[in-house]
Chain A
Amino acid sequence: MASVELTRRELVAAFLGASVASACQRQQAPRPTVPGAIVDRAVDTGHKLRGGPLPRAETFEPVDVLIVGAGAAGLSAAWRLAGAGVKDVRVVELEAEAGGTSRSGRNAVSAFPWGAHYLPSPLEDRGPVMRLLREMDAVTGVDAEGHPSFAEELLIQEPDERHFYRGHWYEGLYLRAGASGKDLEELERFDARMNAFAAARDAKGRKAFAVPVALSSDDAEWTALDALSMARWLETEGFQSPRLKWFVDYACRDDYGTTSEHVSAWAGIWYFAARQNGQGERSDGFLSWPEGNGRLVRQLLSSLGPRQVEPNVLVHTVEPGEGGCRVHAVDARTGAPRAFQARQVVLACPRFVAAHVVAPWREARPTWMDAFVYSPWVVANLTLSGPPASRGFPLAWDNVLYESQSLGYVVATHQSLRQDERGPTVLTWYLPMAGEDVKAERNKALSATYADWEALVMADLLPAHPGVGALTQRLEVQRWGHAMVRPAPGFLWGEARRAAGESLGRHLHFAHTDLGGMALFEEANWFGVRAAERALSGLGRTSTSWL
């Protein structure tokens, strides 16, 4: 690290925990450094917003709807507007390409995700996500009870999950090896509780825990769970098994980027209850693609013309006024100013950006701002000349390291229709920076050099895969400073989240996963469509809601 000289062991302990540090201490064999790089650049560009005033253009480009942000939310808004036949829509994006945290990459071996990488298949045949999946020919039918089924080749193939513990890989995510009777009894009781939550419905017939959150029941019976942390809930319910705690923490780190101490019980339960109907069965499974949710981004983009999405545009000021908004931007590469006069604006960026960009909010900081907290993440893609050798259960789609603070890795070629699984592959490694102080976590993530990341990723993988170093041909690291909004206690059902989603006047609407309180595609899509429909009525168009 730049500021403090850490030993290798201290570095590993700081990022991945003491167990990995002591395991990597035993892996002393010298190995050549894997070539690669840190590939993100948004940190520099985005932080320009915090500097002094940026230049303004004199002439305004007129547009009916301007969408700021080409992540899943912004593109969903554009997709909704295209569906309504609105032609004069522009999407501007700060990054060099569209996709946001669903962005993906591709090399000679495979496409691979840079962030979000799967979509739990919807339980019911309704909502905009189902519409999108139909467009993709991913839906094969709907049964008599209304449960949709999906194309077999898109559902995660078996074996889907495994975990590594002390020298051995095991099937699934719950550490059964060596579990005591009490551990298993708690697991069973936990599953029964989650199934009951999944089956629970309110008087209006709404699921207690639904996808997206907006469709969940707002009855206090369940929303009261939002006030305490998931860790606290486990305690009060008498769950003490360390294995169960790990399992729940894993879930929270996976979906929210932090542990059960910093996630509300409502959100923690939502993870286990929203995607199943209480029969104990998960939905039809997860839908995934080699490029992860990059496939969904591609589908959304296919509804737009090639000129409609403009990358490398840094919007710095949005001024709502009579009859529309004035939007000021600069070219992220040249610094040349741009300006737009938009009848409607969908600001599809996270709150901390919106607070900098929306002119009135620069004067008076919105009161809801501090409630929005974001977990940083680091994602690394490793190109391997062949699948890593492992002891125990064979290579799965999701490969979790039990004793590490990373989430392990997913295999981009897992869904390929081949019998021969020996060829080269790409592994995507995920590390949520889960500490409570997100600012400190962010600085920690940004301070590590490529050499540090290379050492960290290898220290994490080597105990599970001796020899993986020699297989790895390239390693690329992407740091996400604000990857996931955290559903901290009180946030999901609190006033701040609701208030932040309200449009500012008749011309400026907001969309982003953070408005849903969870960084999930379904939330991004829901808020994107909602904002687009508000813009549609602002344009005086009537259209049946897709929500």
Chain B
Amino acid sequence: MNKTLLFLTVLVIATCGLIYELIVGTLASYLLGDSITQFSTVIGGYLFAMGIGSYLSRFVERGVAQRFVEIELAVALFGGLCAPMLFLTFTLTNIFPVVLYGTVLLIGTLVGLEIPLLLRILQDQLKFKDLVSQVLTFDYLGALAASVAFPLLLVPKLGLVRTSLLFGLLNAAVGLWSTWLLAPVLANPMRLRIKAVLLCMGLLVCFAMGDRLTTFYEDQLYADEVVHATSSPYQRIIVTRGKRGFSLFLNGNLQFASIDEYRYHEPLVHPAMGRARKLDHVLILGGGDGLAAREVLRYPDVKSVTLVDLDPAITQLATGYKELAVLNGHALTHPKMRVINTDAMQFLTEGTGTYDVVVVDFPDPNNFALGKLYTTGFYKILKKRLSPGGVAVIQSTSPLFARRSFWCVETTLKAAGFWTQPYHSLVPSFGEWGYVMVALEPPGRHRPLPEGLTFLDEDTLEGMSRFPPDMAPLPAEVNRLNNQVLVHYYEEEWRRWN
């Protein structure tokens, strides 16, 4: 047996072992937040599992070399797939912590088995003092290599998913290679070789698809630390926090960033509030974060605000997550507020009362179910719930990134028989954002802007309805329940920007 090559094997497996540990630790702090705790528990758990592995190694009685190669391949499989698998678990399930620590224990145990077994394979070749000295030297050298390469080279160049797959591949290659190195002490090297080759091919395919996997998983990655993550039956809810405040993501789409949300919510609410004849009863559809409600509650004339949001998890977040509750001024627990968790379309169809102002703050029309909420069918129902002299406003995606989609919303509102006033504002976190104010008749101006706004003043208000040429009206079809053209426009236009 070539001892130098065997020590090289030690180097590689040590590197791989530490890399998996770093990947899992990074993922845990990415996705669960609180990096000190995550790193500390992952590293501790991993070392503990290695201890279990070392302990278990004594039970391997015969065929030590055979077991060693098999364990190599198992490490390659689980280590290589750990990043994609953990991302998937995070995206699709609520048992991420369980799977995370399960993975830590599994990989740690397998890695812990490696060195003791290797020591036993080599025990007849070297004196004990040389054996221990050389194996451990390479082991620690590998650890150094991993810890330097991981933050400086691997994560920035390859990302977590491909790093994980690459080292799985390396691990599997070492497994394959050791079937030759250890051939003299292996009972059936051919069988192991076939397994190793299959594994290499599998990981290679995953690695080649890494780009696609990465784009898929990137949606789950956030620039800032994740401080809250839950899944409701409707969506994945993530709150991240960074230097500039916190942000809410639903299914990976940014809903607001605390630093500039006022640039969205002030234009969403105040133009309509200024034009409505009365402000007695206000309805907010969507907007479960309570930020639009905060703006509405600036007007003492308002007697009641009804907020209809499908997902109770969002409205609970708006009251229960302290920083958001502070940001929305505890709007949802205000005595004038009534929060209803139900289907907005159902609510409008089944109810009877009318509202003086309706703020329609739905997510963008990126699927057919949401697309329904932007059709003439929906707007005709909305129209019936508007009081005489009432005004509604509809968030209408970006007139810059999705220009035809924006004008499609405006065209559709016109087709439903509304007077319309499209306008836009710049929200740095989103880009240029668009709104359409609608009424049954052209409304007058009934009241000035309230005190204490950060973004809107009279001049800004006036400027918002001017559209520069790159956002100017485009002809678009009317979005109806039976054609849903908007979903197609939207998908096509956003694809171009992403």
A residues within 8 Å of B by Cβ?
Answer: 152-153, 155-160, 285, 394, 417-422
Contacts and interface: CB of A to CB of B under 8 A. Distances in A.
A417 B480 contact: no
Nearest to A151: B377
Contact of A419 (B343, B376, B487): B343
Contact of B481 (A153, A419, A420, A421): A153
Interface stretch (B54-62, B362-370, B464-472): B362-370
Given A152-B380, A153-B481, A157-B482, A417 B369 contact: no
Nearest to B370: A419
Contacts of B480: 152, 155
Contacts, number: 56
Contact of B376 (A152, A285, A417): A152
A38 to B, nearest CB: 35
A420 B311 CA distance: 10
Given A152-B480, A155-B482, A419 B372 contact: yes
A417 B381 contact: yes
A421 B377 CA distance: 17
A298 B350 CA distance: 23
Contacts of A160: 482
A483 to B, nearest CB: 28
B375 interface: yes
Contact of A157 (B233, B349, B380, B484): B484
Contact of B343 (A152, A285, A418): A418
Interface of B: 233-234, 310, 343-346, 349, 367-373, 375-378, 380-381, 480-484, 487
B482 A417 contact: no
**4 nearest CB pairs, A to B:** A158-B484, A155-B482, A157-B481, A420-B343
B310 A419 contact: yes
Given A159-B368, A419-B310, A152 B345 contact: no
B481 A158 contact: yes
A159 B484 contact: yes
Given A153-B481, A155-B482, A394 B368 contact: yes
B381 A420 contact: no
Contacts of A156: 482
A420 B369 contact: yes
A159 B485 CA distance: 11
A155 B481 contact: yes
A418 B346 contact: yes
B483 A419 contact: no
Contacts of B378: 417
A413 to B, nearest CB: 12
A422 B483 CA distance: 21
A285 B482 CA distance: 8
Contacts of A418: 343, 345-346
A394 B369 CA distance: 10
B185 to A, nearest CB: 42
Contact of A417 (B233, B345, B371): B345
Contacts of B372: 157, 417, 419
A152 B369 contact: no
A415 to B, nearest CB: 8
Contacts of B367: 394
A130 to B, nearest CB: 19
A153 B367 CA distance: 19
B358 to A, nearest CB: 16
A395 to B, nearest CB: 9
B40 to A, nearest CB: 39
A128 B313 CA distance: 52
B13 to A, nearest CB: 39
Contacts of B234: 420
A152 B233 contact: no
Contacts of B233: 422
A419 B235 CA distance: 14
Nearest to B487: A158
12 contacts: A153-B377, A157-B372, A157-B482, A158-B368, A158-B481, A158-B482, A417-B345, A417-B349, A417-B377, A418-B343, A418-B345, A420-B310
A252 to B, nearest CB: 25
Contact of A152 (B368, B375, B487): B375
B411 to A, nearest CB: 15
Contacts of A155: 480-482
Most chain-A CB neighbours within 10 Å: which of B310, B373, B378, B481? B481
A390 to B, nearest CB: 13
B364 to A, nearest CB: 13
A288 to B, nearest CB: 10
Most chain-B CB neighbours within 10 Å: which of A156, A394, A418? A418
